[in-house]
Structure 1
Amino acid sequence: MTTDTAVRPPPSGASGSDFARLSRRIVDAGLLRRRPGYYAVRLTVVAALYVGGWAAVALIGDSWWTLAVAGFLAVVFGQVALLAHDAAHRQVFRRRRGSEASGRIAGVGVGMSYGWWQDKHTRHHANPNHEELDPDLNPDLLVWSQDQARAAKGLPRLIGRWQAFLFFPLLTLEGFNLHVSSVKALADRSLKHRMLDGVLLFAHFTLYLAVVFWLLPPGMAIAFLAVNQGLFGVYLGSLFAPNHKGMPILTGEDRPDFLRRQVLTSRNVRGGWLTDIALGGLNHQIEHHLFPSMPSPNLRKARTVVRRYCEDLGLAYTETGLITSYRLALASLHQAGAPLRHAPAKEDS
């Protein structure tokens, strides 16, 4: 099991001359250099918002206005998760120890097993949108291709019929799913530092629930949990949905070279500085997949280099607006579920 989520590109000889030439341009432009000042400010701001949000819960207390703070904290949780993502990719610290320590601290802030997520995300980066190799395409609840739909049973078969319409409502459960998957992963003996992850998860759940039920009456506490975790799930899912959903899905022996494997399966989202903040730089998904350890504030500059290079190669470089990216993702989900809608009635019995 690999644990290096930086997923550095293969050496130039393995990745082909096309990627080697692009990589040299990126290095010459200084875009792989660390940005300690940027991350110092970002970490400080997010930490202040996190602490401030909980302070607001304590100050407002027994009032339904506390639910507005629950929504605010859901967004802050998403930003904490994005920091864990950057740390895991060694965008923040060059060395493994600092990256893992900061990633685990951020992970415990939202109730996520850093080790489980790191392994899963590493495998995604190595084979994005590959039906058999990308864990993000496992048909656990939704089906991502018509082949998966034809083989679906249980919940995926039931939900898959209308999954495009159910997608955003189901995202309200994504925060809960993150916690459940993190806890389930602790049973995997091959997962490194699983005991540490288990202690941190237990500490998060204990402190989180204790604070909420101590500061709020039971009914309001339950409402707080529903709003906070539900909106956190929606935000988390909305961060990742535009990136690959609706892009080509690879199967079997489909293994283009590194450059094409990353570019052709990824989609960028156009926008300004607000989009960069809201999506944590993941709106520059093509550049992120090509250079995972590149600090997120450098991705926008890298976009100009990568896009021009892809145009010179005649390589499709996909970039849309945010709403269009969701529309394409939902259209892909609807198309994937078509065999379930058109299946004979006797197959559903």
Structure 2
Amino acid sequence: MPATLHAPSAPSVSPAASGRSSGSDFAPLARRVRESGLLERRRGYYARAIGLNLAATAAVWAAVAWAGDGWWTVLLGVPLAVLAARTAFLGHDAGHRQIARSARGNRWLGLLLGNLLLGMGHGWWSDKHNRHHASPNHVDKDPDVGEGVLAWTREQAGRKRGVLRWVARHQAALFFPLLTLEGVNLKVGSVLFLRGRSRRDRLVEGGLLLAHVVGYLALAFTLLPVGQAVALIAVQHALFGVHLGAVFAPNHKGMAMPGPGERWGHLRRQVLTSRNVRGGVVTDWLMGGLNYQIEHHLFPGIPRCSLRRVRPLVMEHCAAVGVRYTETGLVASYRQALGHMREIGKPLR
């Protein structure tokens, strides 16, 4: 099916304009996917993925120890960032209960992968990400397009003042440079989130976050002199933020944004606001399976390795019910996402 391109301004699309409006549109697809067996847990796949990622991360830190205090060692921050993103994707899958059979098992996997290994709070991410999945691209409900440093609607851009107004004016050009701060921002947000949580959550999540900070800094400053250690940490966190942002940016930016009071069924709410990115196994690996954003939003609990196989079923169903299914190449996805950001900031220039 050819890709559907959307205007940079991402106008609101009503259900009537996108095909038949019916709350039952999703039910036949859900039944077909369930009967296909693609929703079943793939614990062997995830055991291998987690084991290989841990082994690779340990190997890179061993390479840091072997390379010593030369400034070339700082370049090992690049594979450390890539592997940290793999850990984040695994934590993401645990948050959607894709890995273990029980909610408790997935929660502990999320805590170990997120809080302990990454220093990124599983509770904070789950709260934020679940709200995003419930109302993708809805300005009043989706925290990913809410008020912040960047503007996702012209109304948001018009309310910016001072430095933030200048940022919104040039946000398309500043997007990737700003992502170099995202790795630190994720950790700060995780800590701030704990202020309003229960004593038990603060103890468990806060304790694991503290263990991460102590262990990570001890490892870096034990293996390297202060200057190189600081540089390695900076490189890893900067590239980690860029990597994650580069994966999440093409998924929804520039796609349809529901207007106030509009009520869409599950199928339209998830498909019309999402964009897939075409590619092979390399794209799947680099994007953690999130290039199948439409399928992931329709079936958030489906194992990552099953997303490619469920895609033809979703495409066929969308064509049958008249719902636009948007899929582009990677470069085109960035062009559309950044084009949307540029269009939003245009009135300020």
TM-score by length of 1: 0.91
Give the Cα separation in 2 of the matches to 1:139 and 1:201: 27
| Alignment partner of 1:22 is 2:29 | yes
Instruction: Please state if 1:262 is matched with 2:292.
Output: no
Tell me which moved more, 113-122 or 190-199.
190-199
- Of the candidates 82, 86, 99, which is equivalent to residue 75 of structure 1? 82
Matches for 1:105-144 after TM superposition, within 5 Å: 105-107=112-114, 108-144=116-152
Match of 2:300 in 1: 292
User: What does residue 196 of structure 1 align with?
Assistant: 204
Q: Which residue does 2:189 correspond to in 1?
A: 181
SS in 2 for 1:97: helix
Q: Does residue 102 of structure 1 match 2:102?
A: no
Q: Partner amino acid for 2:288?
A: G
Contact 1:143–1:156 (CA under 8 A) maintained in structure 2: no
Residues in 2 aligned to 1:105 and 1:207: alpha-carbon distance in whole angstroms: 13
1:184, CA displacement in angstroms? 1.1
Residue-pair matches, total = 327
Q: Distance in 2 between matches of 1:228 and 1:298?
A: 30
Give the root-mean-square deviation of aligned CA atoms.
1.4
1:222-254 per-position Cα deviation (integer Å, ceiling 9, x unaligned): 211111111011001111111101111223112
* Match of residue 306, structure 1, among 314, 318, 333: 314
Correspondence for 2:43: 36
Alignment counterpart, residue 149 of structure 1, candidates 148, 151, 157? 157
Tell whether the 8 Å contact from 1:111 to 1:179 is kept in structure 2 after alignment.
yes
User: 1:255: Cα distance to partner?
Assistant: 2.2
Contact 2:99 2:303 in 1 (8 A): yes
- Deviation, 1:192, is 7.0
Q: When the two structures are superposed, what TM-score results if normalisation uses the length of structure 2?
A: 0.91
CA distance in 2, matches of 1:99, 1:189: 20
**Which one-letter code corresponds to 1:300 in the other structure?**
R
Q: Which blocks of at least 5 consecutive residues in structure 2 are unaligned?
A: 1-21
> Residue 72 of structure 2: which of 55, 65, 78 is its match?
65
Residue 191 of structure 1, CA deviation = 9.1
Q: Matched residue of 1:337: which SS?
A: helix
Worse-superposed segment, 214-223 or 129-138: 214-223
- CA drift at 1:49: 1.0
Pair 1:335–1:52, CA change in 2 (3 A): same
Query: Retained in 2: the 8 A contact 1:116–1:191?
Result: no
Structure 2 contact 39–301 (Cα < 8 Å) conserved: yes
Residues 89 and 292, structure 1, Cα contact 8 Å, conserved in 2: yes
Structure 2 counterpart of 1:53:
60
The 2-side partners of 1:149 and 1:336 are apart by 7
CA contact (8 A) 1:264 1:317 kept: yes
The residue matched to 2:117 in structure 1 has which SS?
Answer: helix
Say if 2:280 is the partner of 1:278: no
Q: Which residue type is aligned with residue 135 of structure 2?
A: N
Distance across 2 between alignment mates of 1:191 and 1:340: 45
Q: Deviations over 1:278-302 (max 9, x none)?
A: 1111000000000000001111111
Partner of 2:16: none
* 1:167 maps onto 2:175 in alignment: yes
Cα distance in 2 for partners of 1:228, 1:63 equals 17
* Higher mean displacement: 50-59 or 238-247: 50-59
Q: Structure with the greater relative contact order (CA < 8 A, sep ≥ 6): 1 or 2?
A: 2
Q: Taking every aligned residue pair, what percent have the same amino acid on both sides?
A: 53
Question: 1:95–1:154: structure 2 CA closer, same or farther, 3 Å change rule?
Answer: farther
Which stretch of structure 1 is more off in the superposition, 183-192 or 273-282? 183-192
Q: Which amino acid aligns with 1:17?
A: S
Q: Distance in 2 between matches of 1:189 and 1:110?
A: 20
Equivalent position of 1:10 in the other structure:
none
Tell me the alpha carbon deviations over residues 12-34 of structure 1, each in whole angstroms, 9 at most, x when there is no partner.
Answer: xxx82110011011011111011
Q: CA deviation at 1:80?
A: 0.1
User: Following the alignment from structure 2 to structure 1, what is the Cα–Cα distance between the partners of residues 176 and 275?
Assistant: 19
Q: Whole-Å Cα distance in 2 between the matches of residues 289 and 43 of structure 1?
A: 23
Segments of structure 1 that go 5 or more residues without pairing to the other structure are 1-14, 342-349
The runs of at least 4 consecutive aligned structure 1 residues that moved more than 4 Å come to none
Q: After superposition, what is the alpha-carbon deviation per residue over 1:110-140, rounded to whole angstroms, capped at 9, x for unaligned?
A: 1101101110000000000000100011221
